[in-house]
Structure 1
Amino acid sequence: MVTAPAPPEALHGRHLLSMQQFQRRDLENLFTKAEALRLAAEQGALPLRFAGRVLVSAFFDASTRTRLAHETAMLRLGGAVTGFADPEVTRAGGATQESLYDVFRMLSEYGDVIVVRHPETGVAALAAHAAGDRAAVINAGDGTGEHPTQTLTDLYSVWRRFGKIDGLRIGVVNDLRMRCTRSLLRGLRDYDCTVYAVAAPGKGLDSQLREECAQRGPHLEICEDLREVLPQVDAIYSSPTILDEVSSVRPADGVLRGDTPLTASLLEQYGQPDLAVFHPLPRKGEIDSSLDSTPFNGYWEQAHNGVPIRMALLSVMLGGE
């Protein structure tokens, strides 16, 4: 069973469940490793470290980027991939479903690392308990809990775009209850940056997360209108909208709240010229396609970055160096 958080150097044979396991030096170590692996991939010189090693995808919930980025990372490092993206076609789901504990206990016999996504918060921790020291478990999103490897991708993308994280002013908008936002704020806690939160109506930060920020960081400002934030920030991080459709109708009072669609015209009017927009995807109406061909677009590169950062993570966790 997972006990105390460990830095990446100590993740060999352990599990990754939360961004609270990372300190700043650990994140920057991963960024450096990811840059080296990115360069090696571009030069066609990736070291095939994981011949004979197996990654098991155990996805009980829909995924595109998270599942495929983990699998691509493993394959590019010479490993193999197995698993499922639909539990209904296995004994992990359907009328004959076995217990989750038994599923993960069994998967730990088949692979070296298990990447788990589940709609219920806490299932990744259950998987880690069941796997023990037979296989490492990576939390790929557990309900409203956390999504640590998405945050590794997000922070790596910000770091690459600006060459730093310290000193940045980052706007976090839309549905701030999302697990990607929770993990992002925990990942920023050791950096000297300011976060401006602009929520969609009824979708603000929960009290626990606000208290964490007050005690540990990052410095958090709660704002009501995008127009007061856009001129100040270097980056905007928009969360997905999963439960509700995004409304393009402005509130009656004219306030541009966190669910206001980000368009090229809006950012050109209020944002700084070098403003970068990030989004973990999929998007609905949060980011208009008018941004796709503008310098504001940081989200396609962000999606690309999901592979090298996960190659770095797997290299550390499986000891392939």
Structure 2
Amino acid sequence: MVVTAAAPAGAALYGKHLLSMRQFQRPDLEHLFSEAEALRDAAEHGALQAPLAGRILVSAFFDASTRTRLAHETAMLRLGGGVTGFADPEVTRAGGATQESLHDVFRMLSEYGDAIVVRHPETGVAAVAAHAAGDRAVVINAGDGTGEHPTQTLTDLYSIWRRFGKIDGLRIGVVNDLRMRCTRSLLRGLRDFDCTVYAVAAPGKGLDPQLRQECAERGQRVQVCEDLREMLPEVDAVYSSPTILDEVSDRTPADDMLRGDAPLTAALLDEYGHPGLAVFHPLPRKGEIDASLDPTPFNGYWDQAHNGVPIRMALLSLMLGCK
């Protein structure tokens, strides 16, 4: 087994693979937030020790990444651990003409590290990695196709919680492509809190029936709106997904119908939002978040990007058993 110490308070994560937000219940999330705050405070005051000294994180990125890969690696380094792996499978036997089977790749990586963080363009590959690694290393799903992106959602929830001091009672709007894995995981994470969710989708990119049914079964209210101007006055936070498959429309906020793919601008939020509203986005952005929002109090996305490190520090600490 990767970890031999007694299971800590965060037993929901200790020694286990992280594949989906379905694994979490509210106490697990609250414990993770608390650990992230403690590690963040220790790092800011120069009091952070090296609890993961001697441990190795293996990055196995079969798909492009900036924040997710670097945040995991930075988190491991800040905790005193080491990092190895690849950001391009084509330079290894994991890709190219001599590609090994995925099972063999992950079986091998589990011999070299204590934790494997994997991103892959195909849905379900993180589960393949977990099966191959067994109990030799813990596997973290860093995005698998259109499946899930749980560590992004942990960052998102932590960011909302830090901004407002709570998640209960909030009104949260999700916009743009609601089929994206980051939105899918976020909605699963929000089910554990007493909040109201609004949605404005880009045309043809609404909630899929399975996720809508899951939300309903857990009693989560998702109020579908047709117009951003209808939703913005009602919400405390707006979560915009990236646009990956299609370019953002060249329409402007002056159009008659402000759909979910309309750019969020300072002028739009000044007119229809309230002063305490915060905008979140997992990044990278194209035209969904206009640069005019960057210097405004609406901007929650740069803090969100920063928060990816402390939340993953807490995650690695709990998964590898040093807390």
SS of 2:205's equivalent in the other structure is: coil
- Alignment match, 1:205: 207
SS of 2:118's equivalent in the other structure is: strand
Asked if 1:114 corresponds to 2:96, the answer is no
Question: 2-side partners of 1:85 and 1:277: how far apart?
Answer: 30
Amino acid at match of 1:286: E
Change (3 A) 1:217 1:74: farther
Asked if 1:45 corresponds to 2:41, the answer is no
Question: 1-side partners of 2:312 and 2:161: how far apart?
Answer: 16
Structure 2 residue corresponding to 1:214, chosen from 205, 213, 216: 216
2:253–2:262 CA contact under 8 A, matched in 1: no
Structure 1 residue corresponding to 2:72, chosen from 70, 73, 78: 70
Q: How does 1:297-316 map to 2 (within 5 A)?
A: 297-316=299-318
- Alignment match, 2:133: 131
Query: C-alpha displacement at 1:219, in angstroms?
Result: 1.3
Asked if 1:242 corresponds to 2:244, the answer is yes
Cα distance per residue 1:94-115 (max 9 Å; x no partner): 0000100000000000000000
Structure 1 residue corresponding to 2:163, chosen from 139, 161, 164: 161
Query: C-alpha displacement at 1:151, in angstroms?
Result: 0.2
1:248–1:261 CA contact under 8 A, matched in 2: no
Change (3 A) 1:97 1:43: same
Change (3 A) 1:77 1:24: same
Query: C-alpha displacement at 1:217, in angstroms?
Result: 3.8
Asked if 1:105 corresponds to 2:101, the answer is no
Query: C-alpha displacement at 1:8, in angstroms?
Result: 4.4
Change (3 A) 1:229 1:14: same
TM-score, with length taken from structure 1: 0.96
Cα distance per residue 1:209-250 (max 9 Å; x no partner): 011111104211011100000001000000000001101315
1:246–1:259 CA contact under 8 A, matched in 2: yes
SS of 2:233's equivalent in the other structure is: coil
- Which runs of no fewer than 5 residues in structure 2 stay unpaired? 1-8
Structure 1 residue corresponding to 2:15, chosen from 5, 13, 16: 13
Runs (4+) of structure 1 exceeding 2 A deviation are 250-253
Question: 1-side partners of 2:231 and 2:12: how far apart?
Answer: 39
Question: 2-side partners of 1:42 and 1:251: how far apart?
Answer: 41
Higher mean displacement: 211-220 or 71-80: 211-220
- Alignment match, 2:93: 91
Change (3 A) 1:232 1:54: same
Identity across the alignment (%): 83
Cα distance per residue 1:166-196 (max 9 Å; x no partner): 0000000001110000000000111110110
2:172–2:239 CA contact under 8 A, matched in 1: yes
SS of 1:137's equivalent in the other structure is: strand
